[in-house]
Amino acid sequence: MTHTATWLAALATACILLTYEAALALALALALAHRRSARRLARTAHATLREDWFAAVSAQKGLELLAVQTLRISMMSATMTASTSALALMGTATLALPSLHSALSEAPGLPAFTARLALEFVLMAQLFASLLASIMAVRYHNHAGFIAGMPVDSPARHRWNDAGKSYVRRAGILYSWGLRHLVLVAPVLAAIVHPAAGPVAALGVIAVLVGFDRFASANAGTRT
């Protein structure tokens, strides 16, 4: 492919992904403005689910250990995502160094910023975002675990109960963002291998994400 065609393919890949994410952000804003439609989106529905779960385990004695174990399992999942992102980030940085070195050595005054080098930077940014979101999810799961371990009828538990609900909500959202950034790596990686494969992979990933981003209501029994 020519230099111009490579850039166009890379831009098309990025535009497809950004357009979908912008449309999803708009849908989330509208869902939050209209509470009735908030449960149609998986992100808001599952955030409410986690808050309801924390409220349920906080309302009954004897479930403290179960609550802590559940949060520890969630924290381990976020830790695995963070480890995967960290290893992939280090590997990508190692592979990108020769391209960056070549670009700087060819034109010290004005580096040859190629589409491949730009995609490698985007890939590293996605992996770093996944790493950061997963680490923060681990942090919030850890804090929520200390709160969930307090006796239900203790004054400290009553004082921190609202914070616990907020922590499990934030932890879940950050964990989902960590996984999402790992999924969005696929089109960028495909574009690095062959520029023309980027837009095709981006459309395929969006087709998969559409199913995950919609929430199938258990009451209605159908996908909304």
The rounded distance, in Å, linking the Cα atoms of 78 and 68 is 15
Does 224 reside within a domain?
A: no
pLDDT at 223: 37
pLDDT at 138: 95
Does 17 reside within a domain?
A: yes
Q: What is the pLDDT along the chain (224 residues), one digit of tens a residue?
A: 677 888 889 899 989 988 988 887 777 776 665 555 555 677 778 888 899 999 999 988 888 999 999 999 999 999 999 999 999 999 888 887 776 666 666 555 555 677 888 888 899 999 999 999 999 999 999 999 999 999 999 999 999 999 999 999 999 999 999 999 999 999 999 998 888 899 999 999 999 888 888 776 544 433 33
The C-alpha angle with vertex 47 and arms to 44 and 49, in degrees rounded to 5, equals 110
What's the Cα-to-Cα distance from 52 to each of 6, 9, 79, 144, 165, rounded to whole Å? 49, 45, 24, 14, 8
pLDDT at 221: 39
Does 8 reside within a domain?
A: yes
Does 192 reside within a domain?
A: yes
pLDDT at 216: 63
The rounded distance, in Å, linking the Cα atoms of 178 and 174 is 6
Task: Specify the pTM.
Answer: 0.82
Does 218 reside within a domain?
A: no
Helix (H, G, I), strand (E, B) or coil at 102: helix
- Domain count of the fold of the chain: 1
Does 195 reside within a domain?
A: yes
Does 194 reside within a domain?
A: yes
Does 221 reside within a domain?
A: no
pLDDT at 2: 75
pLDDT at 35: 55
Range of the domain at 162: 3-33+40-109+116-213
Instruction: Calculate Rg over the CA atoms of the chain.
Output: 21
pLDDT at 135: 95
Q: For residue 172, which of 83, 81, 110 has the smallest C-alpha distance? A: 81
